[in-house]
Amino acid sequence: MDELDRKIINVLQDGFPLVEEPYSEVALQLGINESDLLSRLAMLLKDKTLTRFGPMYDAEKLGGAFSLVAIKVPEKEFDKVTEIVNSYDEVAHNYHRDHEFNMWYVLATETPKKIAEINSDIERRSGLKVFNMPKLDEYYIGLKLTA
């Protein structure tokens, strides 16, 4: 990652213009052309410097739901349960933790009802108790990671 890549990441974290040609506007702000910006973004995604680039939607404002979920998974079954959990498109993140509750995942669904349906299905398929921990309050912290 060079200095221009860092500038691109830093500028894009401050917002994306809602105009007819947003990439052109960002490129102008950076002093480069649009095709250079697009090719650099593609490379940052390809080499996994960035894991994603796109909008963040508030699922709850669109009628959906989020929930954090934990499972106590016997280590010898971890890969099998990971495969089950990750088979759902609604699983946004799935983490292995060094803790009694060693699998944590986030569900993002189109409806609140779907959270319970997926967790119930995961319980049935894995044979393990799923601990759903829905969000009670939300705090905006304005996270920005300067590159």
How far apart are the C-alpha atoms of 88 and 102, rounded to whole Å?
Answer: 19
Residues of the chain short of pLDDT 70, as ranges, are 143
Predicted pLDDT at 143: 67
Chain segment 74-94, per-residue pLDDT in tens: 999 999 999 999 999 999 889
pLDDT at 74: 96
Residues 118 and 66 in one domain: yes
| Contact yes or no for 26/11 (Cβ under 8 A) | yes
Q: Distance (Å, rounded) from C-alpha 87 to C-alpha 105?
A: 12
Say if residue 101 is in the same domain as residue 129. yes
Whole-prediction pTM value? 0.64
The pLDDT, as a whole number, for residue 27 is 97
Domain residue limits at 18? 3-46
- Catalytic positions, please? 93
Domains in the chain: how many in total? 2
Closest among 67, 88, 89, 5 to 41, alpha carbons compared: 5
pLDDT at 147: 79
Return the pLDDT at 66.
Answer: 87
What is the side-by-side order of every strand in the sheet holding 103-109? 91-96, 103-109, 65-71, 130-134
CATH number reported for the structural domain that contains residue 111 in this entry: 3.30.70.3460
